[in-house]
Amino acid sequence: MISPIKHHKELNSIAFIGNYLPRRCGIATFTKSLLEAVATEVMNEKCFAVVMNDIPEGYPYTSEVRFEINQNKLSDYKHAAEFLNMNQIDIVCLQHEYGIFGGPAGSNIIQLLTDLRMPVVTTLHTVLKDISLEQAEVLKQLIEISDRLIVMSEKASEFLIDIHSAPEEKIVLIQHGIPDTPFIDPNYYKDQFGVEGKKVIFTFGLLSPNKGIEYVIKALPKVIKKHPDIAYMILGATHPHVIKEQGEEYRLYLQRMARNLGVAEHVIFQNRFVNLEELCEFLGIADIYVTPYTEEEQVVSGTLAYALGTGKATISTPYWHAKEMLAEGRGRLVPFKNSEALADEIINLFDHDLDRNAMRKRAYLYSRSAIWKEVARRYLEVFLEVKTERSRRPRTVFYLKRPQKPISLELPEIKLNHLNTMTDDTGILQHATFNLPNRLHGYCIDDNTRALMVSSMVKEFTLPEGGLLPRLGACYLSFMQYAFNEEIGRFRNFMTYDRRWLETHGSEDAHGRSIWGLGVAFSSFKDPGLVGISANLFNKALKAVEHFSSRRPLAFSLIGIHAYLARFPGDSTVKRIREVVAYKLLEAFQTNWTKDWPWCEDTLTYANGRLSQALILSGECMYNNEMLDKGLQSLEWLIELQFSEGHFIPIGNNGWYKKNENRARFDQQPLEAHAMIDACIVAFHVTGDKKWIDRATTCFNWFLGDNDLHVSLYNPRTGGCRDGLNPDGVNQNEGAESTLAWLLSLTALHKLTAENILAINPYCKDKEFDNIRIEASIDIINPYCKDSKDKESD
């Protein structure tokens, strides 16, 4: 064992990255305990935390927290890396769990790690057997970046080596740390908790449905018949993420079950998040500890480690960590979701005191090597090893295979202030006078569709105030649901401020745009209710699209169809309609196409990029080379026409551009920039050619002042966007259409940046990594097709 004196001399500073108390989660508790234990061993104050915030205002942290990161704000990760490098930290110790970092599968953390100059030791709190494409790529990069990978179970080590090809020499097994508590009689503290004279069964941890507590409650009637002096205590607040999505539904369900089974007086709910000292006292009263989790996919359980560390007789379902921890008589395993087996084991242990106490002693003695002092020393040994290795084999810059960064500017933060201002309890209002909502013109489905897309897509890239995005998403989707005319299968468009529809159905444009928005919402929302309503409306509305003939409604619908198929690629009905609609659009291009005018009609009007985008998507996913080629060639032509003097000049809506006539230069609309940005990004995903990213960036810069008038349309104070460029200046009004075009464009670039860090496109689930090669030898995967070999198959 290396002495604390040597630690003190050779390790000047250590930074721990993860969640931190008072944020309520297991990793926050772990990070704080590990930091404090390590700081005690090295005998200095140069151990500190870099922490992740999942709410904009953060938490009231203690002084050891030195830097806070908004988990969805990519620039914060870059700044954190700069902060750590500037402070010349010796070691960074990352606490990794996919869900605590922003970006697809938590990929934002890769930005931070690749910019660091010091060694990285990563503690993996989750190692999965069955893993998504995004998670696999993040783990692949973590393995490559990290000097050591610390795991807390043999199963995690096995998975890393056998499934994820991690070098065995990088992996270190260190048990989950536990407080150093005495081996005491459970009756010692019972009077303090009102259970004196009771046999106490105990479960603790943040409450969520996968904890399986209902199976213990179902077991109680049988247990109580044999041992009527039973008390089952459930300690823990409901998990914050469960609270956001479901409220206290699970706890209330458990309470109803206890009443219905006639055991309510035996069940004690302690709806609290307790500190470590209180937790040890609660654990002290337990005669039997139960972890009845419903799934085996858990390679580490801190609650189980704490229970064994305090010498508890433990019964558990056979999840991975439990099978290791409870081996050799340290506990008993019962099948998943089996209340009968739970009851039998509980009764057996209460019937046999000697067996129960022998189990307690074995568990307690086994856990002595996991007290935080010993765990901290093991971590310090690893830290010293990697620091020594780095000094012998310096690595000034970590080079990770990925594309050059496509954005040459610091992306603005996504601000939803103006979106929220423009939205009331009906939907988003169409127009604004300056930045004040103008109620005179009421609402339209076009803007509510765009707003629905924003509310479904931005969650990974911003942290608005609690509940804002679910509220907005539900509001816009409710508007669309009300706008749908069931009798004729079409959407109405315009509604007055006093909620009167102005027509029985809107234009084909409005309907196609609604299909687009619903497809995106369906593929992006996580809430089952919003997903279900989006899918239902999408399928009802899709039937009308087959009869459309106008080009843009066809294109809008195709983009929505491809978004829908990204989630449900096997939907044969939708694929059939896609084929009909795509060939209609292709026929328009074939009919009007000439060498000098490679387009589908004789006039360039609005949202031109959408037509090219729809053809590219359809050609790629339907394996139709003519569609794909015409989509790419027409987009090239649009670029040539609209790029001049080093910036983007969209077709003006004051006259448009008719074939063989002069084009209108003004008024220039934000929708045109947004359409071209999306089209260029799709072209990049399909071709892997970085020129499309440069072009998307040029179009985006139009919003920020790289335009004919050299004036920014984006208002950083409100988060809104001005309504366009006129010959005599910028239109100062910040209406819904322009603001939503800005937000969707900004979100698209944030998403692209996250994907490039991740090194894959996150929407494609089944493609191989070696399909398309681009700069820096990185693989880019097309997001719109599930199978590169058979693009029409599921």
For 494-542, the pLDDT digits (tens) are: 999 999 999 999 999 999 999 999 999 999 998 989 999 999 999 999 9
Alpha-carbon distances, residue 577 vs 541, 555, 558 (angstroms): 12, 13, 9
Q: Can you name the residues that pair with 150 across neighbouring β-strands?
A: 123, 172
- All residues at 6 or more sequence positions from 513 whose CB lies less than 8 Å from its CB, including other chains: 445, 446, 449, 450, 553, 556
Number of H helices, E strands in the chain: 27, 26
* Cα distance between residue 2 and residue 102, in whole Å: 37
Q: Which residue has the tokens 């699209």?
A: 545
Instruction: Tell me what pLDDT residue 462 has.
Output: 85
Please name the amino acid found at residue 136.
A
446 alpha-carbon distance from chain centroid: 27
260, HSE (Cβ side, Cα atoms, 13 Å) = 9
Instruction: Tell me what pLDDT residue 403 has.
Output: 39
* Cα distance between residue 464 and residue 200, in whole Å: 43
* Cα distance between residue 629 and residue 239, in whole Å: 50
Order of strands, sheet of 436-444, starting from the edge strand that comes earlier in the sequence: 429-433, 436-444, 494-495
| Beta pairing class for 494-495 and 171-173 | unpaired
Judge residue 557's burial from the number of C-beta atoms within 10 Å of its C-beta, 0-12 exposed, 13-18 middle, 19 or more buried: buried
Contact 189, 281 (CB under 8 A): yes
Contact 141, 769 (CB under 8 A): no
Judge residue 323's burial from the number of C-beta atoms within 10 Å of its C-beta, 0-12 exposed, 13-18 middle, 19 or more buried: middle
* Cα distance between residue 693 and residue 578, in whole Å: 27
With CA atoms as reference, report the closest residue to 33 among 177, 169, 215: 177
Phi and psi angles of residue 410, each rounded to the nearest 5 degrees, phi first: -75, 115
Instruction: Tell me what pLDDT residue 752 has.
Output: 87
CB atoms within 10 A of CB 252: 10
CB atoms within 10 A of CB 351: 11
| Beta pairing class for 603-604 and 657-658 | antiparallel
Contact 468, 522 (CB under 8 A): no
Contact 30, 100 (CB under 8 A): no
* Cα distance between residue 457 and residue 693, in whole Å: 20
Both structure tokens of 703: 């919003």
With CA atoms as reference, report the closest residue to 476 among 517, 511, 440: 517
* Cα distance between residue 96 and residue 607, in whole Å: 43
* Cα distance between residue 697 and residue 700, in whole Å: 5
SS3 (DSSP) at 431: strand
* Cα distance between residue 754 and residue 758, in whole Å: 6
Phi and psi angles of residue 597, each rounded to the nearest 5 degrees, phi first: -140, 75
**Residues of the chain whose pLDDT is less than 50?**
1-5, 396-409, 760-794
Phi and psi angles of residue 557, each rounded to the nearest 5 degrees, phi first: -65, -40
* Cα distance between residue 307 and residue 321, in whole Å: 13
218, HSE (Cβ side, Cα atoms, 13 Å) = 12
* Cα distance between residue 329 and residue 554, in whole Å: 67
